[in-house]
Amino acid sequence: MRISEVMTANPDTAEAGDSIATVAARMESGNFGSLPVLDGGRLVGVVTDRDIVVRGVARGSGPDTPVRDVMTPDPVCVEPDSDVEAAAELMQEKQIRRLYVTEGDKLVGIVAMADVARQGADKLSGETIEAISKK
């Protein structure tokens, strides 16, 4: 099975220049724990609620601080035609729960452990979750 068959297409995003207050409000309203960050349409990072708290608020950053200052740069990406099993193995190797799906430098989707689990790949998703949880 291919990533394009299980990914969430056209995900919500943040812009690198958006304030952390704006991004936090978008996360709250959409019930997201993270958002991919774009700069000029190019995927440049990912910001999590934890990034906002630990790299922002805890270090004294104000609500107008650009998200680029607290995001994690260079997220791990796969292509839409990548194999789901290979993606799960990459998640294990990198100890991450999400992969960003790109065509070139354009974000086209996100694949999460839940997407793998929904495909009935119980053994695969269980092994991946166990490996990631050891982190």
Contacts by 8-12 with C-beta closer than 8 Å and gap 24+?
8/109, 8/110, 8/111, 8/112, 8/115, 9/108, 9/109, 10/108, 10/109, 11/35, 11/36, 11/107, 11/109, 11/110
pLDDT band at 119 (very low <50, low <70, confident <90, very high): low
Instruction: Look up the pTM and report it.
Output: 0.84
Token pair of 52, please?
Answer: 């906002």
Name the CATH superfamily housing domain 3-133: CBS-domain (3.10.580.10)
105 vs 55, more confident: 55
Q: Mean per-residue pLDDT for 75-103?
A: 92
75 vs 118, more confident: 75
Q: Look at residue 36 in the predicted model and tell me its pLDDT.
A: 97
Q: Mean per-residue pLDDT for 58-85?
A: 95
Quick one: 40 exposed, middle or buried, by C-beta within 10 A (0-12, 13-18, 19+)?
exposed
Percentage of the chain lying above the pLDDT 90 cut: 73
pLDDT band at 61 (very low <50, low <70, confident <90, very high): very high
Helices (H), the chain: 3-6, 20-30, 49-51, 84-94, 113-117, 122-133
Q: What is the rounded end-to-end Cα distance, in angstroms, of the chain?
A: 27
